Chains A and B, each alone.
Chain A
């Protein structure tokens, strides 16, 4: 009896070692990839921009010249000046400060929504890929339904159902973008599960949970990282679109999307008010896109197209 158990544990140890070694190979692979990424100057430049954007978001209170919700009615829709480089909005709030604070919304939404998307996507994708058969069919159909459902209508419904707010937007955008992750992970897991070391661990009685968590997902990590990075600009665009339609971030919290929406009324008179939030979105999205491309080229070239 005890021998049996020990035998089991020995076997367990053995394939744990296999799996972990396999993962070790990956970590040296990460080292190579990082070197390759470092050579890609433009991607590194964009990484720099991303770091700066994140710092701006974190230290917004220190950087922004004004409180972004402070309403100064003596300076409503002021023209750009030294005091207000981009002018003020219809409530006399400093536009520059609002753009700076807006980075908090955009970046946190981009990242958190992608974390949510990855959690859902990796879970469902790996289950579908690992089990195959009926389970796969069901999950695949769910994915197709989610993909074919008009995205903004879905977001509208979710936001109306849960109420507006940043946290709900995280969830809505996560639910909107998980399918791509799930598809990729499903494909990778399908290929990986045929690999010998996984076969071996299955034969030695490892739990499915262990195989998926320790054997399969770490090997999909590069795919996940690339998908998250490339998903962030996507989520930022969604946030901007939803806020523009009035169903995303609610005022007075500044978001680049709701700023563009509010500025539209005044575009003929204060063009900078409309232009600057759009430029902010563009810089952020470009930085994440180029960095994501670089990351993909370095980590997972087969993901291209």
Chain B
């Protein structure tokens, strides 16, 4: 008995030593193995013959219906199945997709006249008609979740409250012509119609499918049709031969649901998927890896990360300014984000109206923060509870860095980590004193960026400012770009440099790995994934 256990202990020690040695050995051979797996990747694609792109995705676990579920992982898939009337480009311009030409706008900016492309077919073979467009918009409003996108359309309130069955502002002339009348001038309206939420569904099939819409059935006018959606497995799309722009080059797109992000990357390295999103934390490793660095692509989505302070907890703007001054954005961008992010000059990001490049970057000045706190009556500093959603691992690191940086300013930061469900609840109910959050535009217009800061309390700051709200009203009623630039720049100044309701932290770069054999695919700043023009060499 004794002898046996002594042996056990010895062998344990030996096993430990071995595993330690084994560990360092593997790290030396890493590069070789990578190039080896690269070769297998090329082989596997060539041997199948079919041009199918395999995309690593997270199981959305909900119906693939952006009218109901606004997660970006849903749109990543549906953007290839369904289409909206218009499409917005990286530079913010719009182009017609399902329309024969850009809509005509009446002089009072209230009535928009549309002409649909003739003979656009849905995947079930039906031809798209104006009534399908009307149906889709009415459904969006009835679904409630993203309904407010269309709140400026005449008849919205009645339909939303259930006192009317139809959207009175939508008038059908014939199968391809219709007009939409607004309650008041609303400049971003056409941009709204380019979002995935306003995708056009076939009325008949969608009604028949009921709760199965987006689960078992999903028809659109897009380049691919949905063959299957299996929970936990994936979504398979195949080419739609009657696509109105002519059949695309790919045979299909195969979304594989891989829950764990680390496993997703392993599957990419093993050559089993062609596209995978990667976290900025792995940037230094991939960028120094010979094989992977050319396969890694980055893009800056329009939006930003910000630190939002609840004005009910911290009613003094000087305190909020002090908080804004006590976070070292440049250090965070350089270190935690490995230089992949940039320090913003304004909350409204570059690429949309209202962005002001001439402003200085938001700075780190703990001394001034201290003075401001003293002025506001806190010479000994303050305690600050920063709430972070653990779904985004990077946020925890940033909050931790902020904790260190804020000490200089006499701010004692306590980091509170909560999961997504608790986070969204606390955010809505005012339980977040100070939170790190991100916001991306739904359509490239400053209104989409600033919307959460006005009217509704969807933003955790609960900040309201009459002048700001007034400017936003003006902004949507104005069509002249220069005038709008001035209006939104002014509104932003009130929000971020006078009232310090929310303070921009950084503009991130998102990264993905793409099989080098795939051409014609790029994710742009609109953050949408279209496989329409892609091909496999």
Contacts and interface: CB of A to CB of B under 8 A. Distances in A.
Interface of A: 39-43, 45-46, 71, 73, 76-77, 79-80, 90-91, 160, 163-164, 246-247, 250-252, 264-272, 275-276, 279, 283, 286, 290
Interface string B408-423: 0000000111110010
A129 B366 CA distance: 62
B204 interface: no
Interface of B: 1-2, 4-6, 8-9, 12, 16, 19-20, 23-24, 26-27, 30, 260-262, 265-266, 269, 279, 281-282, 284-285, 289, 334-336, 338, 390, 396-397, 400-401, 415-419, 422
A272 B2 contact: no
Given A160-B422, A163-B416, A251-B396, A77 B284 contact: yes
B8 A160 contact: no
B2 A270 contact: no
Contacts of B6: 41-42, 45
B5 A271 contact: no
B281 A265 contact: yes
Nearest to A89: B281
A19 to B, nearest CB: 36
A265 B281 CA distance: 9
Contact of B335 (A71, A251, A252): A71
A279 B15 CA distance: 10
A80 B338 contact: no
A41 B5 contact: yes
B19 A279 contact: yes
B2 A39 contact: yes
Contact of B417 (A39, A164, A265): A164
Contacts of B265: 265
The listed residue with most A CB atoms (<10 A of its CB), out of B269, B282, B401, is B282
Given A39-B2, A80-B24, A251 B400 contact: yes
14 contacts: A40-B1, A41-B5, A42-B5, A71-B401, A77-B284, A164-B417, A250-B415, A269-B289, A271-B26, A272-B24, A272-B27, A279-B16, A279-B19, A290-B8
Closest 4 interchain pairs by CB?
A: A42-B5, A73-B335, A272-B23, A264-B262
A269 B335 CA distance: 20
A79 B5 contact: no
Contacts of B336: 91
A278 to B, nearest CB: 9
A41 B2 CA distance: 6
Contacts of A77: 284-285
B84 to A, nearest CB: 36
Contacts of A45: 5-6, 9
Contacts of B4: 42
Nearest to B282: A265
A90 B281 contact: yes
A233 to B, nearest CB: 15
A81 B49 CA distance: 47
A266 B285 contact: yes
B284 A275 contact: no
Given A42-B2, A43-B5, A286 B12 contact: yes
Contacts of A250: 396, 415, 417
A32 to B, nearest CB: 18
Contact of A269 (B12, B27, B390, B417): B27
The listed residue with most B CB atoms (<10 A of its CB), out of A80, A90, A247, is A90
A43 B8 CA distance: 11
B16 A290 contact: no
A151 B368 CA distance: 50
B527 to A, nearest CB: 23
Contacts of B282: 265-266
A45 B260 CA distance: 40
A91 B1 CA distance: 47
